Amino acid sequence: MAHISQVYCRKFSTSPAVAGAIKHVTVIGGGLMGSGIAQVAAATGHNVVMVDQTDDILSKSKAAIQKSLGRVAKKKFADDGERQSSFVADVMGRIQLNTDPVDAAKSTDLVVEAIVENLDVKKKLFSALDEAAPQHTIFASNTSSLPIRDIAESTNRLDRFGGLHFFNPVPMMKLVEVVKIPETSNETFERLVQLGKAMGKTTVDCKDTPGFIVNRLLVPYMMEAVRMLERGDASARDIDTAMKLGAGYPMGPFELADYVGLDTTKFIIDGWSKKYPDVQIFQESPYVNKLVADGKLGKKTGEGFYKYDKK
């Protein structure tokens, strides 16, 4: 994994927001994804407001960003503690916190939404933001599985709406899928692509098809792994080992599901099973349902398919 980190350090060291480009980013949702997006946006010179529901959640998000930046800084300034600290302080200084999304949207170039994977909740949020945000502000969703067009229809700015799908963990993963709905203007799309690049990512152009590119392939793969486990074909550990050593994946499907969060995994599957009732691979998993019902949401709660040390 060392080379991924080196790329991160190289790309992220000197790329301030370019003139005319998006300079101010509001990230709504300070969970796994929102905190990562806020971190990388700030580390690449953007001014960021991160929004979540309570001060308590936001202070946990802030601590997560600080910890992740500490890991980046250690690599970037190997033996120089002072430069490590000033790098972290500098990036943190570009992140403001707010519990009021409407207030935050009043003055920003871009809103990136990374809240719970629920269409109605996302629509309600964007509808409120649309009233408050300036004309020029672009809206983007980081949804894993919902149609961007369905979210965008809650606003009157379809031409300034698109998808910006980042990958977990955002500081390490080099891809952003930029999603265009039929109404997205070329200018909006270009500005989103530019932002992705300014954040040090490689971008791919996506249509608003289910799961875009990555998740259209990843979700069936992960769900087939779950079916194998449910059928008793192999253990989770053996399936993970097989996919890491036999297919070269950095994580096996169960490690990855735990890393993504089983709540988010279930939201995706529930949505797709409702929408595509005839597609067998998208149907619900009793195994995942039970884990979620027991509060075993993966790494974030200390247990999912596996158990984790709480750090």
Ligand X SMILES: NC(=O)C1=CN([C@@H]2O[C@H](COP(=O)(O)OP(=O)(O)OC[C@H]3O[C@@H](n4cnc5c(N)ncnc54)[C@H](O)[C@@H]3O)[C@@H](O)[C@H]2O)C=CC1
Ligand Y SMILES: CCCCCCCC(=O)CC(=O)SCCNC(=O)CCNC(=O)[C@H](O)C(C)(C)COP(=O)(O)OP(=O)(O)OC[C@H]1O[C@@H](n2cnc3c(N)ncnc32)[C@H](O)[C@@H]1OP(=O)(O)O
**Residues with catalytic annotation?**
144, 165, 177, 215
- 45's tokens: 């010179």
Q: Does 1 bind ligand Y (CB under 6 A)?
A: yes
Q: Which string of DSSP letters, residue by residue, matches 61-100?
A: HHHHHHHHHHHHHHHHTTT-HHHHHHHHHHHHTTEEEES-
Contact 63, 69 (CB under 8 A): no
Q: Is 122 annotated as a binding residue?
A: yes
Q: Collapse the DSSP code of 303 into the 3-class scheme (helix H, G, I; strand E, B; otherwise coil) and give the result.
A: strand
Q: How many residues bind ligand X (CB under 6 A)?
A: 26
| CB nearer to ligand Y: pick between 101 and 298 | 298
| CB nearer to ligand Y: pick between 26 and 35 | 35
* Beta strands 175-180; 161-166: pairing state: antiparallel
| CB nearer to ligand X: pick between 17 and 28 | 28
Per-residue binder mask for ligand Y (CB under 6 A), 255-274, x = binder: -xx--x----x--x------
Burial class (CB in 10 A: 0-12, 13-18, 19+), 185: middle
Q: Does 57 bind ligand X (CB under 6 A)?
A: yes
User: Which of 84, 147, 215, 229 lies at the binding interface for ligand Y (CB under 6 A)?
Assistant: 215
Per-residue binder mask for ligand Y (CB under 6 A), 167-186, x = binder: xxx-xxx-------------
Touching ligand X, residues 64-103 (CB under 6 A): 101
Distance (Å, rounded) from C-alpha 22 to C-alpha 159?
16
301: number of Cβ within 10 Å = 17
Q: Does 141 bind ligand Y (CB under 6 A)?
A: no
Q: Binding site for CoA, residues?
A: 68, 75, 144
